[in-house]
Chain A
Amino acid sequence: MAKSLDRYFQFLGSAKEAQPSGRLWYPAADVYETADGWLVKVELAGVSADDIEIDVQGNRLSIAGCRKDRTCAAGMSYQQMEITYSHFEKNLEFPASIERAKLEYNFDNGLLMIHLIKEQ
Chain B
Amino acid sequence: MAENTENTENQDIHVQDTRPLKPLPLERAILPLQNTTLFPETVVPLAVGRERSIKATEYALSTEEKLIACVTVKTKDVNGNKAKPSDLYEVGTLVNVKRMMRAEGILQLVVQGTDRFRIVEWTQEEPFLKARVEILPELAVENEEEVEALKRNLQNLIQQALTMLPQVPAEVRMAVMGQNDPIQMSYFLGSVLDLGEETEQKMLEAVTVDELLSLAHAALAKEVEIMEIRSKIASEAQSEMDKSQRDYILRQQMKAIQKELGEDDGERAEADQLRERLEQADLPEHVFKEAERELRRMEQLPQSAPDFHVIRTYLEYVLELPWKKSSEEKLDLKEARKILDEDHYGLDDVKERILEFLAVIKLRPDSKSPIMLLVGPPGVGKTSIGRSVARALGRKFERFSLGGMRDEAELRGHRRTYIGAMPGRIIQGLRRVGVNNPVLMLDEVDKLGNSFRGDPASALLEILDPQQNDTFRDHYLDLPFDLSKVFFIATANDLSPIPAPLRDRMEIISLAGYSDIEKLNIAKQYLVPRQIKENGLEENQLKIIDDAINLITSRYTREAGVRQLERTIGNIARKVALKVATGDVEKVTVTEEEISDYLGGPKFYPESAREGMPTGVATGMAWTQMGGQILFIEATLLPGASGLTLTGQLGDVMKESAMAARSYLWSHADAFGIKQEDIKKNGIHLHVPAGSIPKDGPSAGITMATAMASLFTGRKVRSDVAMTGEITLSGLVFPIGGLKEKVLAAHRAGIKHIIFPKQNESALEDIPEEVHNDLTFTMAERISDVLEIALEEEVTDPIKTYDIPEVDAGSSNDNPNEPLIAKED
Q: Which residues of A contact B (CB under 8 A)?
A: 1, 3-5, 7-8, 10-12, 14, 16-23, 49-54, 62, 64, 66, 68-70, 72, 74, 76-82, 84-87, 89, 105
Contact = CB atoms under 8 A, between A and B. Distances in A.
Contacts of B62: 72, 74, 76-78
A1 B184 CA distance: 22
Given A23-B115, A68-B64, A1 B19 contact: no
Contacts of A19: 43, 172, 175-176
A81 B169 CA distance: 28
Contact of A85 (B64, B114, B194, B226): B64
B45 A68 contact: no
Interface in B1-56: 1-4, 19-20, 22-23, 40-45
Q: Looking at A5, A11, A23, which has the most chain B CB atoms within 10 Å of its CB? A: A23
Contacts of B19: 62, 64, 89
Summarize B's interface: helix, strand, loop or mixed: mixed
Nearest to A76: B62
Nearest to B101: A80
Nearest to A5: B165
A81 B42 contact: no
23 contacts: A4-B192, A12-B169, A12-B172, A14-B43, A14-B45, A19-B43, A19-B175, A20-B176, A22-B41, A23-B113, A23-B114, A49-B1, A49-B2, A52-B2, A66-B22, A66-B23, A78-B62, A78-B102, A80-B100, A81-B66, A81-B97, A85-B64, A87-B114
A35 B191 CA distance: 49
Given A1-B226, A52-B2, A72-B62, A78 B43 contact: no
A68 B22 CA distance: 11
Interface in B85-128: 96-102, 110, 112-115
Interface in B284-313: none
A1 B226 CA distance: 8
A51 B756 CA distance: 150
Given A23-B113, A52-B1, A7 B191 contact: yes
Interface string B800-818: 0000000000000000000
B168 interface: yes
B20 A21 contact: no
Contact of A8 (B58, B114, B184, B192): B192
Given A20-B176, A49-B1, 15 more contacts: A1-B230, A4-B192, A4-B193, A8-B168, A10-B45, A18-B110, A51-B2, A64-B20, A74-B62, A78-B58, A81-B99, A84-B98, A85-B96, A86-B98, A87-B22
B707 interface: no
Given A21-B41, A52-B2, A4 B112 contact: no
Contact of B168 (A3, A12, A80): A12
A116 to B, nearest CB: 14
A76 B59 CA distance: 11
Interface in B183-225: 184-185, 187-188, 191-194, 223
